[in-house]
Structure 1
Amino acid sequence: MCLIVFDWQPGQPCWLRMAANRDEFHRRPTAPLQPWQDNPAIVAGRDLEQGGTWLGASHQGRIAALTNVRAPGAGPQQPLSRGLLASRWLGGHGSAETFVSELIDNAGEYAPFNLLIGDQQQLLYVTNYPKPHWQVVSPGVHTMSNAALNTPWPKTRLASKQILQLDQCSAQTLAHLLDRRQPWPDQELPATGVPPEWERMLSAQFIVSPAYGTRCSTGLVATEQSITLHEISWNAAGEQQASNEQQLALLKRDNHADSGG
Structure 2
Amino acid sequence: MLVKKYSGELVPFDETALRRSLLRSGASEETVNQVYTAIQNRLYDGISTKELYELAFDSLKSKRSSYAARYSLKRALRELGPEGFYFEKWVARLFQEDGYNSMTGQTIQGHAVTHEIDVIAQKNEELLAVECKFRNDADAKISVTTPMYFKSRVTDIMDLTFRFFNKELKFTDGWLVTNAYFTSDSVKFGTHYHMNLLSWDYPAGNSLKNKVDNNGEYPITCLTTISDQDKAMLLKNQCILVKDLLRDDALCERIQITKEKKVAVIQEAKELINSPLEHE
Question: TM-score, normalising length from structure 1?
Answer: 0.28
Structure 1 or 2: more strand by fraction: 1
Bigger relative contact order, structure 1 or 2, given CA contacts below 8 A and separation 6+?
1
More helix by share: 2
**Scaled by the length of structure 2, what TM-score is found?**
0.27
Larger Rg: 2
